[in-house]
Structure 1
Amino acid sequence: MASSRHEQTQDLSELRIVLLGGRWTGKSSAGNTILGREEFVTKRRTAQCVKRQSEVAGRQVTVVDTPGWWKDWSVDGTPEADKQEIVHSVSLCPPGPCALFIVLRADASFTETERRSLEKHLELLSGTVWRHTIVLFTRGDWLGDRTIEQHIEAEGEALRWLVGKCGNRYHVLNNQKRGDVTQVTELLEKVEEMVAGNSGCHFEINRMIIEKLEVKRRSVEERAKQRMMKVENQRKTLRALFKGGFILRCRLIKIAFLFRGTPRTGTTEGRQQGANQRKEE
């Protein structure tokens, strides 16, 4: 499904970036490196989109972190809530992101299965999203003396396909060297170059995708509400049954106690009490 684009020049004093990718690829750490400070939590999984801003190299930079997907899962296996967050991410930096970074780890292989998964997840945003994407490698320290170009060539067809799909736009970050502002400045310059190549246009998701997402969201919320009501009704029924059973047990105990306290005629205890009464008479 095609997305619309505003034919207007971007104000490059403001850059809006969305981080996309699989789980545990270093998206949050990359966001912190780009903004130059600890803005995103890195010790737990990002479950919902998080938006942070900072001034970087004379530019106002907005970064949106998103939930990741399991890299070897199809898009059908990704929870609906995560897919909704991915689509929702582009609306958090209006009028739309200047760039979408596909975050990969330089120390991990990129397989054909992961490539297919990534492609299908990005299709959630429409087929034209690739015009606005840059492959961002994290853990650049792992490369050692090897260049990123050598890494891409050695990794095989899947990674080369991805880089080509992104217009041969890629960059490497070493999140261990936050003080190296050059790596961030160069990245932002690549974003500006890409925006210029897109005639100054940002990415804007088609309104129909947003509307479809909203319908799904309402459907999920309604089903969740119905499940909660069902659970609550079951709890009320159980409480009523428990309360009724408790009262019944109390009554049975009381009857048993009274019954036990009154000797019955014909029992040994009853006959003994009767004999005693006759002696007294």
Structure 2
Amino acid sequence: MGIGEAQHLSDLRIVLMGYRAAGKSSTGNSILGREEFDLKRSAQCVRRHGGVADRHITVIEAPGWWRNYTVEDSPELLKQEIVLSVSLCPPGPHAVLLIIRVDTSFKEINQKSVQGHLDLLGERVWSHTIVLFTCGDSLLDTSIEQHTESEGQDLQSLLDKCGNRYHVLNNQNRSGHTQINELLDKIEETVAQNNGSHFEINRKFLKEIKERRRAEEERAEERMKRIKKRKDKHQITDE
């Protein structure tokens, strides 16, 4: 088999990224073929597994950011979850699916927002990223190429950064498996383009994030203990 030639992978690891209400949970359910992801928003990463088209698939959904927020506007805990998401399917995801709704316009602020949040993972993440357009049914008779051209430079520059890798998904139609099989094929092609390798975040950076998270959790636990102690003290005084 030649270099860069896609091969069938029996194990696939996928991370879903995107702004809030982009369709990440629905996409995860479409990939796995059943309702595994709760459509309610979560502040933490969610991991699910399933068997699809002779593959064992692990899907991680990272929490979303506000659509018009730059990465500087997003809370620290959200940014940490985005970084930690790629460590939840060791040794790392074969692809990061960047979820974007095709039925809403994509402006400069959206491009800055998306790029800033993905840049948290380092420059190498872009060679493993596929833009996944959701709400594909809204295109009607318009091709995705016509749509991206009509959206202008902001969307096109994002696609360029992803090596022009994209796929369209209609989350309302799960009866046919074609769109998911084609997506899995594109993920395998992306792996082949990366010489068979998955994405792996800088270990030193990941360790720093984990230590920072641990310290914050310990501080939060101490605060809860102090609050409980004060409450218990007041109860004793009242009695």
Same fold (TM over 0.5): yes
Return the letter of the residue paired with 1:27: K
Q: 1:55 to 1:236 in 2, by over 3 A?
A: closer
Return the letter of the residue paired with 1:24: A
Measured after TM superposition, the shift of residue 148 of structure 1 is: 0.6
Q: Does 1:65 align with 2:61?
A: yes
- Structure 2 residue corresponding to 1:98, chosen from 94, 99, 115: 94
Q: Does 1:137 align with 2:137?
A: no
Q: Residue 103 of structure 1 contacts residue 138 of structure 1 at CA under 8 Å; is this kept in 2?
A: yes
Match of 2:113 in 1: 117
Q: 1:220 to 1:11 in 2, by over 3 A?
A: farther
Match of 2:76 in 1: 80
Q: Does 1:108 align with 2:108?
A: no
- Structure 2 residue corresponding to 1:198, chosen from 194, 197, 218: 194
Q: Residue 10 of structure 1 contacts residue 202 of structure 1 at CA under 8 Å; is this kept in 2?
A: no
Return the letter of the residue paired with 2:106: F
Match of 2:3 in 1: none
Match of 1:184 in 2: 180
Match of 1:227 in 2: 223
Q: Residue 8 of structure 2 contacts residue 188 of structure 2 at CA under 8 Å; is this kept in 1?
A: no
* Number of residue pairs the alignment of both structures matches: 234
Q: 1:184 to 1:241 in 2, by over 3 A?
A: same
Q: Residue 10 of structure 1 contacts residue 201 of structure 1 at CA under 8 Å; is this kept in 2?
A: no
Match of 1:25 in 2: 22
Measured after TM superposition, the shift of residue 179 of structure 1 is: 1.1
Measured after TM superposition, the shift of residue 115 of structure 1 is: 1.3
For each residue in 1:215-247, what CA deviation from the matched residue of structure 2 results, as whole angstroms up to 9, or x when unmatched?
Answer: 21122113212322332343244335534xxxx
Q: 1:242 to 1:77 in 2, by over 3 A?
A: farther
Q: Residue 106 of structure 1 contacts residue 143 of structure 1 at CA under 8 Å; is this kept in 2?
A: yes
For each residue in 1:154-176, what CA deviation from the matched residue of structure 2 results, as whole angstroms up to 9, or x when unmatched?
Answer: 11211111111000000000011
CA distance in structure 1 between the partners assigned to 2:53 and 2:24 by the alignment: 21
Q: Which runs of 5+ in 1 are unaligned?
A: 1-8, 244-281
Matches within 5 A, 1:25-64: 25-42=22-39, 44-64=40-60
Return the letter of the residue paired with 1:133: T
Q: Residue 15 of structure 1 contacts residue 61 of structure 1 at CA under 8 Å; is this kept in 2?
A: yes
Runs of 4+ aligned residues of structure 1 deviating over 4 Å after TM superposition are none
CA distance in structure 2 between the partners assigned to 1:187 and 1:128 by the alignment: 21
Larger helix share, 1 or 2: 1
Measured after TM superposition, the shift of residue 126 of structure 1 is: 1.0
Q: Residue 52 of structure 1 contacts residue 63 of structure 1 at CA under 8 Å; is this kept in 2?
A: yes
Return the letter of the residue paired with 1:18: V
Q: Which runs of 5+ in 2 are unaligned?
A: 1-5
Q: TM-score, normalized by length of structure 2?
A: 0.92
Q: Residue 12 of structure 1 contacts residue 59 of structure 1 at CA under 8 Å; is this kept in 2?
A: yes
Q: TM-score, normalized by length of structure 1?
A: 0.79
Matches within 5 A, 1:208-219: 208-219=204-215
Larger radius of gyration: 1
